[in-house]
Structure 1
């Protein structure tokens, strides 16, 4: 018999990242942000299940102080409980700057944004008659984003998993399982940022383990490594890895594990 193995903390009481129970190393949090050298603001937002060619609707706020996105992650398998709809919100906590322009990209269940803020231009004329001009950008503290996070923040390690705050509809958690009519077990595991060829499924000591490696892309602070047991096998026969059907797409792996 095969039974689901809900996420468990990696120590006796703590998850390395409260955003994902399978995250073992790398940046934590559903979002991370940084101020680039040219003054732009970079954001990485986890939206597992969102296709690369999804129609991502990113729009400016009315006051140009931030952006919001609306995007769907469709049901990729008939056993998914539902589709998921995301609506991440990003805004500056700064009284001076506004968003001048932005670019967006979706890849492997991650939305990456680069926001270009308005800058302060200071200038004048030297005593000798030559003009001078210098551009100043606000500090990262001034551009603190209330809906993003510092990926090294120790508060992102803890005993309780958090739901994805960008989810408007559907499951906000990284794990889902369902017993099928034929006795098989269906499992969905979110590992945003992991390409299709970086997932590994293994069977050892009666446990089904999923591992994923997410490389650093664009301005990500680092890559991420995921690993965890997702099912427990209670059978006297040798269970073969090839008996497990896997569906990998957009930072999500789905498994159908037969009941023997």
Structure 2
């Protein structure tokens, strides 16, 4: 049977002159942007959201800088399913205070569906006549014509998409959809294209809204040598904020009936 050699993410071309809705993920169409977001809450605590797609809920580590008590260091490693040639992804980064008047006194962290969320408690250690709003990093994401690489990946895949042929003549591809849980995704296929929709339905209390991801993957670029998707088994699931789709050839039915 003719198998697949690769696939093309046709979502990498912006659909309008303004570019991508979110430069951290070409599939994102709605919701909070950026790989990381830090904002001041009404109770003067800090809310930190960090996208770490592929990381299990119990596989993230964090600690406060013991010297200056200004930032939180975080690190994590993704689950290895054996399909991606680059193997696991390793993350490492920091977030926290960008001032000299406060110190971090506590961290309440939760990892869920490929997103690390932390509530940082702080206290003033120097006189300051205004409410302190200085945070690190000081941005919440942006739109544009170029997709950016994940700044906290220190090993492995840095982009939101990967597609690779499998040894049995099939195809595997993965798409980062941080925040999306299993069961909140729909995968549809025709002869040469797979379309998917993934939506964050359970919005975290400090997120402005849920995220929506839409995309498609084309397998017809190689012309007549490409196999029809409809002659294959297609399975898809979301694991730790990553949509993984496996396309495998159907085994011929060799059973015969004796009359």
Interval of TM-score (by shorter of Structure 1 and Structure 2): 0.7 to 0.9
Q: How many residues align?
A: 240
What's 1:87 paired with?
Answer: 92
Q: Output the CA distance in 1 between the equivalents of 2:231 and 2:249.
A: 13
Provide the C-alpha distance between the structure 1 equivalents of 2:118 and 2:147, rounded to a whole number of angstroms.
25
Tell me the residue number matched to 2:164: 178
Pairs within 5 Å for 1:3-42: 3-6=6-9, 7-12=11-16, 14-42=19-47
Task: Please report how far the alpha carbon of residue 259 of structure 1 lies from its aligned counterpart in structure 2 after TM superposition.
Answer: 6.0
Partner of 1:128: none
3-state DSSP of counterpart to 1:88: strand
SS at match of 2:136: coil
* C-alpha spacing 1:73/1:137, structure 2 compared with 1 (3 Å): farther
Which of 232, 238, 244 does residue 219 from structure 2 map onto?
A: 232
**Aligned-partner Cα distance in 1 for 2:147–2:15:** 14
Q: Report deviation, 1:245.
A: 2.2
2:135 maps to: 144
Shift of residue 214 of structure 1? 1.4
Q: Are residues 80 and 238 of structure 1, via their aligned partners in 2, closer, same or farther at CA, if it must alter by over 3 Å?
A: closer
5+ residue gaps, structure 2: 251-259
Once the two structures are TM-superposed, the CA of residue 136 in structure 1 deviates from its matched residue by 7.8
**TM-score normalised by length of structure 1:** 0.82
- Residue 12 of structure 2 aligns to a residue whose secondary structure is coil
Q: Is the 8 A contact 1:206 1:232 kept in 2?
A: yes
Using the TM superposition, give the Cα deviation of residue 241 of structure 1 relative to its aligned residue in structure 2, in angstroms: 9.7
> TM-score, normalised to structure 2's length?
0.83
Tell me if 1:255 matches 2:242. no
Note if 1:107 corresponds to 2:94: no
Determine if contact 1:203/1:241 at 8 Å carries over to the other structure.
no
- In structure 2, how many angstroms separate the alpha carbons of the residues matched to 1:239 and 1:174? 23
Cα distance in 1 between the residues matched to 2:53 and 2:89: 9
Aligned-residue Cα RMSD (Å) equals 2.7
Q: How far does the alpha carbon of each residue in 1:207-258 deviate from its partner, in whole angstroms, 9 at most, with x for none?
A: 2012110132131121100010023356899854982122421001111224
Aligned partners of 1:22 and 1:226 also within 8 Å: yes
Q: What corresponds to 1:166 in structure 2?
A: 152
**Which residue of 185, 195, 212 corresponds with 1:199?**
185
Q: In structure 2, what is the equivalent of residue 58 of structure 1? A: 62
- CA–CA distance in 2 between the matches of 1:116 and 1:97? 10
Q: Secondary structure at the residue paired with 1:115?
A: strand
Please say if residues 202 and 241 of structure 1, whose CA atoms lie closer than 8 Å, have aligned partners that are also in contact.
no
Measure the CA separation in 1 of the matches of 2:121 and 2:158: 30
Residue 222 of structure 1 aligns to a residue whose secondary structure is: coil
